[in-house]
Structure 1
Amino acid sequence: MRYKRRRKKKILSTITQPPPPLKEEKKAQDKDLVESKGKPAEENMEEKKETTWEELGLSESMLQAVKNMGWKKPSEIQRESLPFSLKGKDIIGLAETGSGKTGAFAIPIVEALLNSPQPYFALVLAPTRELAYQISEQFEALGAEIGLKTAVIVGGMDIIDQAIILAKRPHIIVATPGRIVDHLENTKGFSLRTLKFLCMDEADRLLNMDFEKELDKILDVIPTERRTFLFSATMTSKVKKLQRASLSDPVKIVVSHKYQTVSGLKQHYIFVPAKFKDVYTTYILNEMAGNSFMLFVATCEHSQRVAMMLRNLGFLAIPLHGKLSQPKRLASLNKFRSGEAEILVATDVASRGLDIPQVDVVINFDVPTHSKDYIHRVGRTARAGRSGIAITVVTQYDVELFQRIEDLIGQKLTKYPTDQEAVMILLERVTEAQRIAAMELRDSLSGGGKKQRGHRHQRQKQKGRHSGRR
């Protein structure tokens, strides 16, 4: 990847034992680090005290906006970064998911817009469509008093409709890299030559999703004289390279350890044979009824099948994955947020960046292949100081992956207690739900499933009538 360097102004009976133990890991130090120009400055930091929004120097309209949003006090990333960003510095922020990163970059952008309003003021890049919509909602809430206009430019939506929205000259554009490049290259009259702010959220994910070329094109056509914010959960070599190419003399804010899970999170595992995975998951959902769940799976097909199976068992479950159309993805999110659905069966597309406040329990139905994804999945709960529970379902095939996770986070997960007799009572019902879900999935993949099932049902009714007459 070649970036154009910016100019220098700038876890049954058949298996009874848990996985073997791992080596003891050193405890992570609970110290935050603020760096300026790459030099640690913790020795200059005073002991942290509660900081108010007023002390950060926000304007009266912004103080009212954060109050209206229910933000009682700044989060750590906000408390550490805003004094610099409000004074005009570029920022690279490393913080755990759910730490308030969106507010950390949205507040200074809206404050600057108050002082110097203009269209196409800021471009915010996000790795997923859902995250882009969420960021846009926060910008609109923060800028409600001044009539701030945003445009969400993502794939899966009509490009002509998006061009019309861009022609209305919004203040803030929140986009996925691929689609904004489409518009920069093909939408007549659209350019970002007057852009004042560039923000890249979830930068590590942007790069893992192979958006390097798109980022390069964007950096090539926007002004070098601009403010740039880069926020990421992890600092990878690719992120470092992007930092060098896009930021000028940045202040680096680190408010979390490299692979740390939040303190309010209770982490458990259950160790089960693969063939009983569905029934044990159903047991957990029954035992913890009344909570909201995000259930993570490995593939789009798993998301559909598990959601169908759970619905056949009477749960309010909906899928969320990359093969759904954009309107369906948004509909799934909205149903879950509103409480209309209690279980969101998601692929990793939803493991980063989505702030769904009422998530009580995260279940890793499939152990993530990449250990770092565990951090982002379980980060959906215990957000912003709240408590939460994460349970990982480990089969005989997942032991090595599970050990890697424990190794990565430097702690042992505790075994979640289960009643084997109670689990087996559910087996017959779950098996029938699996069978029906498999039929439904097969019909949906072949197309016209409802029509085919309707014809079969009609033939069976007619056959029954004939049998009755005999």
Structure 2
Amino acid sequence: MTTFKDLGLNENIIKALTDLGYENPTEIQEKAIPQVIASKKDLKAFAQTGTGKTAAFSLPILEQIDTNSKNTQAIILSPTRELALQIAKNIEEFAKHIKGFRVSAVYGGASIEDQIRKLKKGVHIVVGTPGRTVDLINRKQLNLKNVEWLVLDEADEMLNMGFKDELDKILAVTPEEKQTLLFSATFPREVESIAKNYMHKPVEITSGEKNKGSDQVSHQFYVVSERNRYNALKRIADVNPDIYSIIFCRTRRETQEIADKLIKDGYNADSLHGDLSQAQRDSVMEKFRKKHLQLLVATDVAARGLDVTDLTHVINHKLPDQIESYTHRSGRTGRAGKEGISIAIVTGREKNKLHPIERIIGKKFVKTPIPTGKEICQNQLLKLIDKVHDIEVNEAEIKDFLPAIYKKLEDLTREELIQRFVSIEFNTFLSYYENAPDLNDSEHMQSGRETRGRRNDENMSRFFINIGKKDKLNPARLIGLINDQDIAKNIEIGQIEILDTFSFFELDKNYQEETLKAFESNDNSFEGRSVNVEITEKKRSGRGGRSGNRRRRDNGSNNRNENSRSGGGKRRSKDRKENSSTPSGFGRKRSTRRKG
């Protein structure tokens, strides 16, 4: 078996690797390290997330660094500050026995003056985000004219985040004679373009198959209605008592809302997104790494610097906009030889988004039924029993109390004792999931009368919408379309009337302008028709007709919720029973005790 010494690394580096518990190189390390040491040719490397990319490019550079010089000899660019910090930390650990070596991370959201002070002392390797690196170059505080190695780590993500102009500026101030190392988890056309423009006849190596998912990760999907997306998420967490997962959302707002709901429902969860301060982000990541949190709700960008090797699941609360991002997400689990599960929660209309992902990862998604209450109770109960079976008994401390305990329990049989013991912890859970609906029942989820009872509510505004039964509209789909506009949290929806070619709905009058603006600004279409929403100032004069002045707005929707609630009267656009507090689970730390 190949060792790090076989790859040409010196004793100081090997000693540091031994201290860190590294035994043998990964596939990408075994291919990249000797290539970078022995050759000055540019290198284009495909490596899935979690395969040891940082060591693959940093160890051969460390092997060749001249510590007698104060010049910056290598610049490593990464898409996020978290990843830049993680890379710099890893390099520090690899180089701890190399006397006089210095590495520094430069990134936004931190004091640029402090970073400048470190650079002035002389830094051999700079790890930076593109924006802050350009800022330091413009201030003439970062000199890259002596750089021998340029590393583009996660190049695909840097392009997705719009850093092409910054990359151009950075490369323009580096010497022509340098070794460029490009590492990427996926190779879309844009990354191939970078290689073509910035590299000269690069050597190409791969770890695994290009643009394919990890063999250690299985892929599942759950089909839900939009209104039950969060409930399905909770059931997935509850049916896996030992879950340790990142839940990916598309926006910062969605990330915070889902995290807040989970925390309120007693789950040991927190959020990670760009609106947090650096101190907050560091705190959340540290808690998650130490497993003080079981569920981390995060955006794609915020999770890039999170180096965790033993995630059990990655959950896509919603699929990413960029197909390649799914590969990055799923690559957070199934690392270091461990198996992982990547889950996608989708509505019926989102299922077609899975096919292009399957082509990218080279695997099929397995449709999985949403766990029932009975399945959840069984898994949680067995976890409790395992916990009891494996508990270490401190006989010395407990022995003085046992006679009194035995006396109190002497009238109970073995079976009765077990039943009562289990019920202490389990009754609340059983009660919560008793008669819980089957979230896989699509017909039940789509039920609803075509016309809801009339109300004359002065607190509601009445709207006309130019789609109806002939467009396959029903109350559930109309409520989903309204929810998709993100007009306001828990906005009240009143009367709905679905007619042949158009419909009416009522919303809280306080959000009249917000509703019109939302439908106007969102590029909505429904079953191929552009959506037009107008205010009807007066109630309709007769069935099938409409009257009164209306304010016209042209708009449309590609993504529609499948919220199924219908019926007369006013209510809030939010989940019902299963969005209430959930009972305390088993084998899992909770931030608060759940209510029954």
Distance of 1:316 and 1:75 partners within structure 2: 33
SS at match of 2:3: coil
Distance of 2:23 and 2:8 partners within structure 1: 15
1:341 to partner: Cα distance: 1.3
| Structure 1 residue 87 corresponds to structure 2 residue 38 | yes
Structure of greater relative contact order (alpha carbons < 8 Å, 6+ residues apart): 1
- Please name the residue that 1:31 is paired with: none
- Please name the residue that 2:26 is paired with: 75
Identity among equivalent positions (%) equals 36
- Please name the residue that 1:126 is paired with: 78
Distance of 1:321 and 1:150 partners within structure 2: 27
SS at match of 2:293: coil
Unaligned runs of 5+ in 1: 1-49, 435-470
- Please name the residue that 1:288 is paired with: 240
1:181 to partner: Cα distance: 0.6
Q: 1:71 to 1:110 in 2, by over 3 A?
A: same
More helix by share: 1
Distance of 2:81 and 2:98 partners within structure 1: 26
- Please name the residue that 1:7 is paired with: none
SS at match of 1:193: coil
Contact 2:85 2:305 in 1 (8 A): no
Q: 1:195 to 1:122 in 2, by over 3 A?
A: same
Distance of 2:344 and 2:196 partners within structure 1: 38
Residue correspondence of structure 1 range 13-92 to structure 2 within 5 A: 50-89=1-40, 90-92=42-44
Distance of 1:408 and 1:230 partners within structure 2: 20
Unaligned runs of 5+ in 2: 377-431, 437-574, 583-596
Q: 1:127 to 1:94 in 2, by over 3 A?
A: same
1:174 to partner: Cα distance: 0.6
The residue type equivalent to 2:34 in the other structure is P
- Please name the residue that 1:180 is paired with: 133
Contact 2:73 2:125 in 1 (8 A): yes
1:270 to partner: Cα distance: 1.3
Q: Residues 201-242 of structure 1, C-alpha deviation per residue, up to 9 Å, x if partnerless?
A: 011211222211111111111222222211112223332332
Residue correspondence of structure 1 range 264-343 to structure 2 within 5 A: 264-343=216-295
Distance of 1:113 and 1:410 partners within structure 2: 40
Q: 1:382 to 1:234 in 2, by over 3 A?
A: same
Residue correspondence of structure 1 range 83-232 to structure 2 within 5 A: 83-89=34-40, 90-113=42-65, 117-147=69-99, 148-187=101-140, 189-232=141-184
- Please name the residue that 1:4 is paired with: none
Q: 1:72 to 1:350 in 2, by over 3 A?
A: farther
Contact 2:34 2:60 in 1 (8 A): no
The residue type equivalent to 1:291 in the other structure is I
Task: Count residues with an aligned counterpart.
Answer: 384
Contact 1:351 1:380 in 2 (8 A): no
Q: 1:415 to 1:244 in 2, by over 3 A?
A: closer
The residue type equivalent to 2:128 in the other structure is A
Distance of 2:60 and 2:363 partners within structure 1: 37
The residue type equivalent to 1:283 in the other structure is R
- Please name the residue that 1:431 is paired with: 579
Higher mean Cα deviation, 125-134 or 216-225?
Answer: 216-225
The residue type equivalent to 2:249 in the other structure is V
Q: 1:95 to 1:130 in 2, by over 3 A?
A: same
Rg larger in structure = 2
- Please name the residue that 1:11 is paired with: none
The residue type equivalent to 2:148 in the other structure is K
1:296 to partner: Cα distance: 0.6
The residue type equivalent to 2:225 in the other structure is P
Contact 1:310 1:433 in 2 (8 A): no
Q: Residues 248-282 of structure 1, C-alpha deviation per residue, up to 9 Å, x if partnerless?
A: 44321122223311112122111111111111111
SS at match of 1:393: strand
Distance of 2:246 and 2:357 partners within structure 1: 19
TM-score by length of 1: 0.77
SS at match of 1:219: helix
Q: Residues 34-76 of structure 1, C-alpha deviation per residue, up to 9 Å, x if partnerless?
A: xxxxxxxxxxxxxxxx322122121111111221222211111
Contact 2:274 2:302 in 1 (8 A): no
- Please name the residue that 1:405 is paired with: 357
Distance of 1:181 and 1:196 partners within structure 2: 18
TM-score by length of 2: 0.61
Q: Residues 14-40 of structure 1, C-alpha deviation per residue, up to 9 Å, x if partnerless?
A: xxxxxxxxxxxxxxxxxxxxxxxxxxx
Contact 2:67 2:124 in 1 (8 A): no
Contact 1:150 1:170 in 2 (8 A): yes
- Please name the residue that 1:464 is paired with: none
- Please name the residue that 2:420 is paired with: none
Contact 1:97 1:353 in 2 (8 A): no
Distance of 2:196 and 2:367 partners within structure 1: 44
Distance of 1:297 and 1:198 partners within structure 2: 32
Contact 1:98 1:353 in 2 (8 A): no
Distance of 2:216 and 2:174 partners within structure 1: 41
Distance of 2:186 and 2:216 partners within structure 1: 20
1:299 to partner: Cα distance: 0.8
Contact 1:202 1:353 in 2 (8 A): no
Contact 2:229 2:345 in 1 (8 A): yes
SS at match of 2:283: helix
1:349 to partner: Cα distance: 0.9
- Please name the residue that 1:261 is paired with: 213
The residue type equivalent to 1:258 in the other structure is K
Q: 1:196 to 1:411 in 2, by over 3 A?
A: closer
Distance of 2:93 and 2:363 partners within structure 1: 39
| Structure 1 residue 358 corresponds to structure 2 residue 306 | no
Distance of 2:362 and 2:147 partners within structure 1: 43
Distance of 2:142 and 2:342 partners within structure 1: 45
